[in-house]
A and B are shown apart, each in its own frame.
Chain A
Amino acid sequence: MFGPLTVKPPKSKGDKTGSWRVQLRPHYLHKDCIACKMCLFICPEGCVRGKEKNTFSVDYNFCKGCGLCAEICPKKDIAMVAEESKGEDK
Chain B
Amino acid sequence: MKEFLEGSHAIAEIIKACRPGVVSAYPITPQTHIVEDLAQMVADGQLKAQFVNVESEHSAASVVLGGSAAGVRVYTATSSQGLFYMQEVVFNIAGMRLPVVMTCANRAISAPINIWNDQQDSISLRDAGWIQIYAENNQEAVDFHLLAYRLAEDKRIMLPVMVCMDGFILTHGMETVDMPEQEKVNKFLPEYKALYKLDPAEPISMGLLADPDYYMEARFAIQETMKETIGYLSEVSQEFKGVFGRDYGDLLVEEYQVKDAEKVIVAMGSVCGTIKEVVDAQRAKGKKVGLLRIITYRPFPYARIYAALKDVPKVAVLDKAVSLGACAPIAAEIKATFQGKKKAPQVISSFVAGLGGRDITVETITEVLRRLNTKEVNSDFIDLKLELLKEEYGD
Is there a direct interface between A and B, measured as CB atoms under 8 Å apart in the complex?
yes
Contact with B along A1-31 (1 / 0, CB 8 A): 1111111110000000000000000000000
> Which of B156, B203, B218, B221 is in CB contact (< 8 Å) with A8?
B203
Q: A68–B2 Cα gap in the complex (Å)?
A: 72
Instruction: Give Cα A8–Cα B210 distance, bound, in whole angstroms.
Output: 15
Contact call A9/B205, Cβ cutoff below 8 A? yes
- Chain B residues with CB under 8 A of A5: 208, 210, 214, 218
**What's the Cα separation between A3 and B221 when bound, in Å?**
7
- Identify which of A2, A3, A7, A9 gathers the most chain B CB atoms within 10 Å of its CB: A3
Count of A-B contacts judged by CB separation below 8 Å: 41
Q: Is the CB of A7 within 8 A of B96?
A: no
A3 contacts across to B, CB distance below 8 A? 97, 217-218, 221-222
- In angstroms, Cα B92 to Cα A5, docked, is 12
Are A8 and B204 in contact, CB atoms less than 8 angstroms apart?
A: yes
The smallest beta-carbon distance between A38 and chain B, in angstroms, is 28
Question: How many positions in chain A have a CB within 8 Å of any CB in the partner chain?
Answer: 9
Q: Would you list 17 pairs from A and B whose C-beta atoms are within 8 A, ordered by A residue?
A: A1-B97, A1-B225, A2-B217, A3-B97, A3-B217, A3-B222, A4-B96, A4-B97, A4-B158, A4-B196, A4-B218, A5-B208, A5-B210, A5-B214, A6-B208, A7-B205, A8-B204
B249 on the A face (CB < 8 A): no
Majority SS of interface residues in chain A? loop
B206 touches A6 (CB 8 A): yes
Residue contact B208 to A2, C-beta cutoff 8 Å: no
Min CB gap A86→B, angstroms = 37
Cβ contact of A6, chosen from B156, B196, B214, B221, cutoff 8 A: B196
Question: Chain B 184-225, CB within 8 Å of chain A: the 1/0 string?
Answer: 000000000000100000111110101000100110111011
* A1-B156, A1-B158, A1-B224 known; A6+B210 contact, CB < 8 A: no
The listed residue (B96, B202, B206, B221) touching A1 by CB distance below 8 A is B221
CB distance from B262 to the nearest CB of A (A): 43
Which residues of the partner chain A approach B221 to less than 8 Å between Cβ atoms? Answer: 1-3
Bound together, the chains give a CA A2 to CA B97 distance in angstroms of 10
Neighbouring A residues of B214 by C-beta, 8 Å: 5
With A1-B156, A1-B224 as contacts: A8 and B202 at CB distance below 8 Å: yes
Cβ of A7: which chain B residues have Cβ within 8 Å of it?
Answer: 204-205, 208
**A8 to B196 alpha-carbon distance, docked (Å):** 10
List of B residues within 8 angstroms of A2 by Cβ:
217-218, 220-221
Return B212 CB to nearest CB of chain A, in Å: 13
Closest A-B pairs by Cβ, 3 of them: A4-B97, A2-B221, A3-B218
Q: How far is the CA of A6 from the CA of B204 in the complex (A)?
A: 7
**CA of A27 to CA of B221 in the docked complex: distance in angstroms?**
49
- The answer to whether B95 has its CB under 8 Å from any CB of chain A is yes
With the chains together, A44 CA to B259 CA distance in Å? 71
Q: Which residues from chain A contact B225 at a C-beta distance below 8 Å?
A: 1
Kindly provide the distance from the CB of B383 to the nearest chain A CB, expressed in whole angstroms: 45
User: Complex Cα distance A7/B203, Å?
Assistant: 9
Contact A4 B205 (CB under 8 A): no
Q: What 1/0 flags go to B134-162 for Cβ under 8 Å of A?
A: 00000000000000000000001010000
Instruction: Tell me the A37-86 residues at the B interface (CB within 8 Å).
Output: none
Q: How many Å lie between the Cα of A1 and that of B225 in the bound state?
A: 7
